[in-house]
Structure 1
C-alpha cells in the first residue's frame, strides 16, 4: 500500500531544512503510521537528497507525524541548482512510499 492511501501531508521549508507532516485520514491508522514511517525509513527513502539528520515528532492528538529533515534542500531553496527541492515536491515523493 502507498502512504497516500492512509495519510496526507503538509510541508514547509526554511533555509536548508525541510519539514513534512503526515496526517492520518482516519485516527485508527495513526498507529500504523507510527510503525511504518520511522525517521530512519524517511532518511533512507530520501538518501540521495537528505544529507543531515531526520527527526520525527509525534502528535497523537491530531494523528500526525512531523519529520524535520536537515541538510535536505541542496544548501537552501534559494541557493540550490536542483529543480523543485522545496518541501512540496518532497512531500509528494514521500506520499508514494510503500508501507
Structure 2
C-alpha cells in the first residue's frame, strides 16, 4: 500500500467539518482508503482513450407506404363518439 494521500489529521479535520466523530483507528483507516481511491484514479488515467464518435450505420429498414385501416374499420370494436376513440375522463 502507498503512503496515505491524506494524513489522519487532515481526515479528522474534514470529519469535524462534516460533524462526524472519528477515533484514531478510523482516521488511519480512512487515510489509507483515500490513498487506495486515488490509486484507482491513477489506474484510470492509464486507460487509452477511445474514438469519440465510432462509425455508426443505420440498421433500420426504410419506411414503406402501405394501405391502412379506414376510420370505420379502426373504430369498429372500440368505444367511439363523433368518429374518435372514446376513453375515460381524466381528472
TM-score category (smaller protein): under 0.3
- TM-score after normalising by structure 1: 0.23
Higher-strand-fraction structure: 1
Higher Cα radius of gyration = 2
Q: Which has the higher helix share?
A: 2
